[in-house]
Structure 1
Amino acid sequence: MRPLTDDETKVLFEKLTKYIGRNIVHLIDRPDEPYCFRLQKDRVYYMSEEIMRRATPVGRRNLVALGVCFGKFTKTGKFRMHITALPYLSQYAIYKVWVKPNGEMPFLYGNHVVKAHIGRVTEDMPEHQGVVIFNMADVPLGFGVSARSTVDMRKVDPTGIAVFHQADNGEYLREEDTLF
C-alpha cells in the first residue's frame, strides 16, 4: 500500500469532481479525523489515517483490502469508479436523478435510464456530468453520466436515454468475483 503519485491523484480527483465537485474537500478534511487515499494493486482505497498507520506493518502480499475501495486504475492510466464508492458519492453529489419504481429494476440490471423512468432531476444539470441515481425514497441505486442537460431532457421522447449507466447496486451480485 502506497500513497498516490501526483498524476494518479490528479486523475482520481478529476473523476471525483465530475460527481461531487468541490465537495472533495469534505472527503479529505473531515471533522472527526483526517482521511487519505492509498493505492494497493491498482485499486484506490479511502481510509482514515489511523487505520492506515495500523496497517503499515502488514506486508503487501498479505494485505488484501483496507478501507473503502473507490475504484481502480486501468492499464491505460484511467480511473474507473466502483459501486463501493456510492455512499460517499451520494452524500456529496451535486447532480441527482430520481427514478420511478418502474425504472429501478431496469437500472439495477445494468441498463441506461430512459426519460420515461425519471421522477425528478436536479435543476441546471449539464450534459455529460456525473450524476447519482436514487429511487423515489432517496435510496442511492448507482451512478452514471447525464446524456442530456435538464433543459434538453424535457424535449426528448420517453424512450430516449437520459443517463448513461456507470455502476449500480446490482453489481454486488453480477460481478462479485472481480469487484474487490
Structure 2
Amino acid sequence: MPRNPHRWWALALIALAQFMVIMDTSIIGVALPKMQNDLGFTPSDLSWVFNAYVVAFGGLLLLGGRLSDLYGARRIFATGWAILLAGSAAAGLAGTVEFELAARAVQGAGSALIAPAALTLLMMLFGNRPAELTKALALYGAAAPAGGTAGVFLGGVITEYVSWPWVFTSTSRSPSSL
C-alpha cells in the first residue's frame, strides 16, 4: 500500500480532535459558578452542565463507531465537527438552563462521532506500519491529558477576563477536512 504523504498532517488534525473532545469536558469547570448566577441553575442541577456532555458522549460512542463503519470515517469525522460546532455556538448563546443542557448534549453527540472516526482514520493511515503506528498512537494519546489541562486553564482565563459564554468558542473552530 503506498504511503499517504499527508498522513502526518492528518495525524495533527486527529490529535486536535482528541484534544478538543477532552477539552470540552473540562473547560466549563471554572465557569460553572458564573453560569449558575447568569442562568439560574440550582446547586444540585449545576453538575448537569458537565454530565449532559459526558452522558451524550459516552452513550453515543458505539453509534458513532457504527456510523463511521457504514458511511466512512472521513464523512462522520466532518459531521461530528459540524455538530460539535453547532452545539458550542448554541451553548455560548444559551439563555436558559434547559437550552444550555441541550446544547451541551449536542456537543457530546458531536464528540461521540468524532472520537471513533478519528481512531479509524488513525488506523487507516498508520495501521500497516508498526513503528509509525506507535508514534501516532503516542501523539494521539498525549492529546487527551493536554486537552484536559488546557480546558481547565483556558476556562479560568476566559471566564475571568472575557465571560463564561466565550468558553464555548474554543470549540467553534473546525479543522479542515482530512
TM-score of the two chains, using structure 1 as the length reference:
0.25
Query: Would you tell me which structure has more strand in proportion to its own residues?
Result: 1
TM-score of the two chains, using structure 2 as the length reference:
0.25
Query: Would you tell me which structure has more helix in proportion to its own residues?
Result: 2
Q: Which has the higher contact order (CA 8 A, sep 6+)?
A: 2
